[in-house]
Amino acid sequence: MRYFQLLPKTHFDFIGARKTFFLISGIILLACIVSLCTKGLNLGIDFTGGTMVQVQFDGNTDISTLRTALQKKGINADIQTYVGKNAFAIKVKGKQENVNEVSKNIDSALATIGTKFEIEQTSFIGPTVGNDLAKKAILAFALALGAMIMYVAFRFQNIIWGAMAVAALFHDILLTIGVFSFFQIEVDLVIVAALLTIAGFSVNDTIVIFDRARENLRLNPKYDLPTLLNVSVNDTLSRTVITSITVIAATAILYTMGGEVLKNFSLALLIGLTSGTYSTVMLVPGLVYQWSKGSNFDAMATGVSTQETPKKKHNKRHYNN
């Protein structure tokens, strides 16, 4: 019985086409950087400090009525609407020292509208908190990245491979926050968790290809670097596609059905994981080749570790009984 196969054995020349992919990624990343520089990020009150009140009205209320009511009380707020609900998120960003001042003010403005309402959620973030959280998140992130580069460099005995795995990861994260910047989608602390997930998935994907390259080099020491990389990416392509389809589809379900709270979070995952799959296949091999070429490098001189992982022998023993 034949398998159910999405991808037959492939022989794409990823290394040959690398410059096209560099160009595509270059343009996309440039657009992301331009957007980040000109539009910036729509940072949530988690980072800017401020007050957020989410309100659910019993009857139909439009955003202009709400805005007028708020302005009458001297409140200048960002108002976010929710599709299909009479709900709004009212945000007053900026440094606020006093915990209940703004939210009480908003409450009294809401009362003037005359429609029955319920406060679903309020948040107050003081000026020092957001700053501190962002700093700590970045520090932890930097440490984790450093450790990943070192481990990959150590396992594959080559710093270029470690660095390229991280370059791909930066590509995916930059692209995700670039899209968030372009559409001015709000970035809050939950998005930080999404970015971490993207980073983890991106490195995982890259390592699978590196692992195959390590093995192929052991089997065919005569391969030159482009062949080695091309064969390895093609060998693992079926796996990359299947894993990505599964994970991305599951995330898409989360995005469409997961409700308001999960929406931006799963959107970030959706963008990042798609980018992760693309960068692993199209970019990383080309980058490794390009960089290695620059330093007079070929496959036989890579010194890619051919040692076996410690547990492998153990597995054999398990099987032999």
Partner 1 sequence: MNKLAFKWGLIGLIFIGSIALLYPSFEWYSKTPAEREKLEASNSRPKHILNLGLDLRGGSSLLLELDVSKLSGKETLNESMQRAIEIVRNRIDQYGVGEIPITRQGEKWISVQLPGIANPEQAEALIGKTAMLEFRLVKTDSASQEAASKIYELEEPFNNDGTLTDEAKKLMPEGTVVMKSKEGGYLPLTETVSVSGADLEDARVTAGEYGYPAVSFQFNSDGAKKFGNLTGANIGKQLAIVLDNTVQSAPRINSRISSQGQITGQFKMEEARQLAIVLRAGALPAPVSIIEKRVIGPGLGEDSIKSGLTASAIGFIFIILFMTIYYRAGGFIASIALFLNLIFLVALMAYFSATLTLPGIAGIILSLAMAVDANVLILERMREEKDKGQTLPLVIKEGYDKAWSAIFDSNLTTWIASILLFQFGTGPVKGFALTLTLGLFVGVFTSVFVTRAIYEFILTSNPKDISL
Look-up: residue for tokens 């992760």? Answer: 276
Among 109, 152, 281, 288, binds partner 1 (CB under 8 A): 152
Among 31, 36, 75, 196, binds partner 1 (CB under 8 A): 196
Which of 141/291 has CB closer to partner 1? Answer: 141
Polymer length of the chain: 321
Smallest distance from partner 1 to CB 34, Å: 29
| 132 contributes a contact to partner 1 by CB under 8 A | yes
Binding range to partner 1, per CB under 8 A, among 23-31, 147-155, 281-289, 292-300 = 147-155
Among 36, 239, 290, 297, binds partner 1 (CB under 8 A): 239
* Cβ-contact 194, 265 below 8 angstroms: yes
Smallest distance from partner 1 to CB 68, Å: 25
How far apart are the C-alpha atoms of 192 and 196, rounded to whole Å? 6
Q: Per-residue string for binding with partner 1, 59-98, x by CB under 8 A?
A: ----------------------------------------
Question: In the Cβ-directed half-sphere of 12, how many Cα atoms lie within 13 Å?
Answer: 17
- Ranges within 271-310 binding partner 1 (CB under 8 A): 308-309
Binding range to partner 1, per CB under 8 A, among 69-77, 116-124, 225-233, 292-300 = 116-124
- CA torsion sign for 223, 225, 229, 230 is negative
| 147 contributes a contact to partner 1 by CB under 8 A | yes
| 185 contributes a contact to partner 1 by CB under 8 A | no
Among 160, 199, 284, 287, binds partner 1 (CB under 8 A): 199
- DSSP-derived pairing of the beta strands 87-93 and 78-81: antiparallel
Q: How does DSSP classify residue 187? A: E
| 220 contributes a contact to partner 1 by CB under 8 A | no
Among 254, 290, 291, 300, binds partner 1 (CB under 8 A): 254
* Cβ-contact 163, 292 below 8 angstroms: no
Among 212, 217, 229, 271, binds partner 1 (CB under 8 A): 212
Smallest distance from partner 1 to CB 165, Å: 8
Which of 22/170 has CB closer to partner 1? Answer: 170
| 151 contributes a contact to partner 1 by CB under 8 A | yes
| 41 contributes a contact to partner 1 by CB under 8 A | no
CA distances (Å), 102 to each of 11, 44, 86, 188, 318, in order? Answer: 62, 16, 22, 20, 65
Which of 67/239 has CB closer to partner 1? Answer: 239
Binding range to partner 1, per CB under 8 A, among 30-38, 193-201, 223-231, 280-288 = 193-201
- DSSP alpha helices (H): ranges in the chain? 18-38, 45-48, 63-72, 101-111, 127-155, 159-182, 189-219, 225-257, 260-278, 284-294, 310-319
Provide the token pair at 306: 């051919």
How far apart are the C-alpha atoms of 106 and 75, rounded to whole Å? 8
| 173 contributes a contact to partner 1 by CB under 8 A | no
Among 31, 43, 137, 300, binds partner 1 (CB under 8 A): 137
Binding range to partner 1, per CB under 8 A, among 32-40, 221-229, 248-256, 278-286 = 248-256
How far apart are the C-alpha atoms of 289 and 284, rounded to whole Å? 9
Which of 222/318 has CB closer to partner 1? Answer: 318
**SS3 state at 277:** helix
* Cβ-contact 247, 273 below 8 angstroms: yes
Q: Treating both helix axes as pointing N-terminal to C-terminal, what angle do 225-257 and 260-278 enclose, rounded to 10 degrees?
A: 170
